[in-house]
Structure 1
Amino acid sequence: MILTLGLVSALQTALIGAFAGYYLSDSLYDEIGQRALMVAKTVAATPAVIEGIRTRDRAGLNDLARRLAETNEALFIVIGDDQAIRLAHPDPSRLGHSMADDDGDDGSRALKQGQAYVARAMGSLGESMRGKAPVRDRDADAIIGIVSVGYSVNQVEATIQRYNFVLYGVVGLMLLVSIVAAIIIAGRFKRAIFGLEPEEIARLFQERDATLQSVREGIIAINRDGVITTMNRAALDTLGLAPDTPLAGRPILEVLPESDLLTVLASGVPDFDREVWMRNRQMVVNRLPVRQGDDIIGVVASFRLRNEVDQVSRQLTRIQQYADTLRSQTHEYSNKLHTIAGLIQIGATSDALNLIGSEVSDHQALIHLLLEAVPDPVIAGCLLGKYNRAREMGLTLVIDPDSQMADVPDDLPREQLVSVLGNLIDNALEATRQHTGEGGRVTLSMTDLGDDLIFEVEDQGAGIPESERTRIFEKGVSSKAGDSHGYGLHLVSQFLARWGGSVTVDDLPDGGSRFTLYLPKRPDRRDSH
């Protein structure tokens, strides 16, 4: 950029300088020529010159021509008669000779046509700008002679060089200022683009475009005027628009009036994981303001369909459940195998057989109950994992054999349901272990009769004071020490708020607490909750 701006400035300055120099030179030559012509006309109209030509007074004419030349700073003043024969000349040896001997001009334009004119010619005194004018005898009304006034070209060129010195100085200063300005502009421009070269910017732009198009989430960016500047193909797919729909340059309110991007643009507050409806589709949206210094210059939003997020979450929940179940079973069965091996080694084979039979019987009963009461594999898997988790902690999770949970609405998110149910069971197990130690039990009963799904979780903990039964659902509130607690029941309350459910907390007669969870089956009942 410095080279480009410098070369452009140098070219412009050189062209301006050349034009100014040429115009100055041409103007000076023209001015000197006009000055010579004016002096020639003035001398030709002098009465003494007219009288001297009429009387052919060479001495008087030469003296007069010399004085007039000195007065007007002319190189020479030559006076000739009507035949262009010199009557006055700075060089006496040339008197009496034709004026045409100097420059080939016999003065016919002045003597015959009566014109005054300017000519540039090389004469005996050097190259000069000459003004020639006819001398008229007013009495006889006839042309009786000619006057030639010359100014040396060397004088003109010396003047031109003097002016050129100033001109070239100004031109050089302009060029220097242009180069300094180019350096400053290039430096500011480079700082504005973070020191990147043009080819690096082009590469980054290509990388950014490739990154945008490879992201599976829809991405839309707007500028400070609320006009869409960037979007990717996933945005069109997610919004259900045709792949060739032009979005760039259109106001965001025209395309997505419910996006709330202008709210983030005005407030500057980012918004994460917000569930919204756009174009009749439920989506999870993140909105982030773009800042330049202290100014907000735009907003970028990323979004994807809620069902896609649910699908991923469901897969992760199942994997977590399987991992917890396998870990619990591995730990539990490792202990049982060691026990059985010890009984066999000491010869207590009958006890070993009884232990094996009891283990098989317990699991078969639990699996049979889950198959009958809970057809949904996600909920059943969660309960099986919590059963094994309880046994690992030295506790017992008892599932009411009269439980029934088959009529679960299809639109109820399974991963969120098992997350809520798992949090209640985990809290009950932890409270029971802290209060009773090993040997305690937690009871779970379920029913899908009526308009609600009802889950009851009873523990043998210390109970919850009535004054704390509302606070335990607030974020970060927990009876356990540490910063990583106090989120489980808060997630339960958030899910219930979205689904329209409710939860109650009661004390048990023999100690402990009962959490009762109500989830409406039908949408019209969810609003009433």
Structure 2
Amino acid sequence: LPKFTEVILSLKKEIFLISGLALFFGGWGAWALASRIKKEMFELEPHEIARLFVERTETFNAMHEGVIAIDKEENITIFNHKAKIMMDVPDEVIGKKIYDVIPDTRLPEILQLNQPVYNRELQVRNLNILSNRVPIKVNNHTVGAVAIFQDRTEVKKLAEELTGVKSFVSALRVQNHEYMNKLHTIAGLIQLGNKDKALQYVFQVSEQQEELTQFLHKHIKDESISGLLLSKVSRAKELGIELAIDRHSELHSFPPYLDHHDFVIIIGNLIENAFDSYQHLERRERKIYISMEQNDGILSILVEDNGCGMNEDQVERIFDEGFSTKAKENRGIGLHLVKQIVEKGNGQIEVESEVDVGTTFIITFFL
């Protein structure tokens, strides 16, 4: 039998040929695979990828806004430090389902809508959140969604305080003007020698104000709403408008996700919109009627005026941001905010209007 070395030596040509082919195709395959992987990794080296990952993570954690991202399977891929503080999430949540961690972010619906939603107020874990939610697309394919949000609770409280101060100053100005007119009336009656009529006028004014104040204190359980209605009644008198509040009105509590600040915006904007309907309108009887009804299952608000009214095209566009029937700048915001608040509270809003007849707003919340 031949020795092993003799067998090897007799096949050395075949061995060299096979080894050469193996090295050639192996090297070519490794080069092709490495090129493809590097191309998919954007021509980055492993240490560069590691550096970018660390930089990205620290950048998200340094942001003052909360950032949450999910993939198309609704698994969390990004949850920065600010989001953990705001949402009170101490544990590591990367890789978990978003519904298991925070069920009310409304981030998965962006995967279905496949379009961004900007500047939308949400109620997440009893926080008032201003959220921008955007789909993540790679090569025109949606692979996830990201939400960037701010906690507006403190800002909202500050804005409420500022708005309250502004409303208070406005109410004082209106009341000062109203009481000056009343004092002039009393002084005129006294000068004319009609002391009995002057005394009767004082009693009449006092009784009207006291009756309205007691009614609001008894039936409207929120002081902000009561103060708003009192100031609007005084403002209406100053404008020569009769503002009537239904004496069967009741308001004991607010719908879920809404508070007194939201209702101040709703009622205040609807009344101001009614005031504006009388601009450039010559009408002797100017009346605004307000009613609020609340029972165990429903809360409704009605604001009705006999102002200039609107046509069908205006009614369809009245809640669009920036649209206004008044030819002034910085208008078209109030009713848009009203629409957003009604949607946040899962309510419904109806508008009935006719040109030169008037407009009726009916807002309904289901408790």
TM-score, normalised by the number of residues in structure 1: 0.44
C-alpha deviation, 1:389, in angstroms? 1.1
Q: Could you report, residue by residue, the CA deviation over 1:286-317 in whole angstroms, capped at 9, with x for unpaired residues?
A: 79xxxxxxxxxxxxx98543443443343334
SS at match of 2:258: coil
C-alpha deviation, 1:271, in angstroms? 8.7
Aligned counterpart for 1:348 among listed residues 161, 177, 194: 194
CA change 1:435–1:411 in 2 (3 A) is same
Partner of 2:349: 503
Residue correspondence of structure 1 range 173-252 to structure 2 within 5 A = 237-240=85-88
Residue correspondence of structure 1 range 408-487 to structure 2 within 5 A = 408-409=254-255, 411-432=257-278, 434-437=280-283, 440-449=286-295, 451-487=297-333
Higher relative contact order (CA 8 A, sep 6+): 2
CA change 1:283–1:465 in 2 (3 A) is closer
Determine if the alignment matches structure 1 residue 399 to structure 2 residue 249.
Answer: no
Which range moved further: 348-357 or 404-413?
404-413
- 8 Å contact kept, 2:123–2:257: no
- 8 Å contact kept, 2:311–2:354: no
Read off the aligned partner of 1:238 and give its amino acid letter.
M
Read off the aligned partner of 1:386 and give its amino acid letter.
K
Matched residues in 2 for 1:466 and 1:221: separation? 42
Partner of 2:185: 339
Q: Could you report, residue by residue, the CA deviation over 1:329-374 in whole angstroms, capped at 9, with x for unpaired residues?
A: 1221122223323333343322322222221111112112212221
Partner of 2:3: none
Determine if the alignment matches structure 1 residue 389 to structure 2 residue 243.
Answer: no
Matched residues in 2 for 1:479 and 1:518: separation? 24
Partner of 2:360: 514
Aligned counterpart for 1:327 among listed residues 173, 176, 194: 173
Aligned-residue CA RMSD in angstroms? 4.3
C-alpha deviation, 1:285, in angstroms? 4.8
SS at match of 1:470: helix
Matched residues in 1 for 2:341 and 2:244: separation? 25
C-alpha deviation, 1:390, in angstroms? 0.5
- 8 Å contact kept, 1:476–1:486: yes
C-alpha deviation, 1:397, in angstroms? 0.6
C-alpha deviation, 1:482, in angstroms? 1.4
CA change 1:284–1:475 in 2 (3 A) is closer
SS at match of 2:318: helix
Q: How many residues align?
A: 282
Matched residues in 1 for 2:313 and 2:132: separation? 37
C-alpha deviation, 1:219, in angstroms? 6.7
SS at match of 1:473: coil
Residue correspondence of structure 1 range 126-141 to structure 2 within 5 A = none
CA change 1:484–1:460 in 2 (3 A) is same
CA change 1:467–1:286 in 2 (3 A) is closer
Matched residues in 2 for 1:377 and 1:455: separation? 17
C-alpha deviation, 1:237, in angstroms? 3.6
C-alpha deviation, 1:447, in angstroms? 0.9
- 8 Å contact kept, 2:309–2:355: no
- 8 Å contact kept, 2:308–2:355: no
Q: Could you report, residue by residue, the CA deviation over 1:272-293 in whole angstroms, capped at 9, with x for unpaired residues?
A: 7454677896633579xxxxxx
Structure 2 residue runs without a partner (length 5+): 1-60, 70-76, 111-115, 134-146
TM-score, normalised by the number of residues in structure 2: 0.62
Matched residues in 2 for 1:484 and 1:438: separation? 30
Q: Could you report, residue by residue, the CA deviation over 1:358-417 in whole angstroms, capped at 9, with x for unpaired residues?
A: 211111121122122212212211111111110111111111122222243464221111
Matched residues in 2 for 1:272 and 1:473: separation? 17
Matched residues in 2 for 1:341 and 1:365: separation? 24
C-alpha deviation, 1:469, in angstroms? 1.8
Read off the aligned partner of 2:225 and give its amino acid letter.
I
CA change 1:436–1:370 in 2 (3 A) is farther
* Identical counterparts, % of pairs: 32
Matched residues in 2 for 1:354 and 1:483: separation? 46
- 8 Å contact kept, 1:457–1:514: yes
SS at match of 2:173: helix
Read off the aligned partner of 1:460 and give its amino acid letter.
N
Matched residues in 2 for 1:432 and 1:237: separation? 49
C-alpha deviation, 1:491, in angstroms? 1.7
Rg bigger for which structure?
1
Q: Could you report, residue by residue, the CA deviation over 1:125-154 in whole angstroms, capped at 9, with x for unpaired residues?
A: xxxxxxxxxxxxxxxxxxxxxxxxxxxxxx
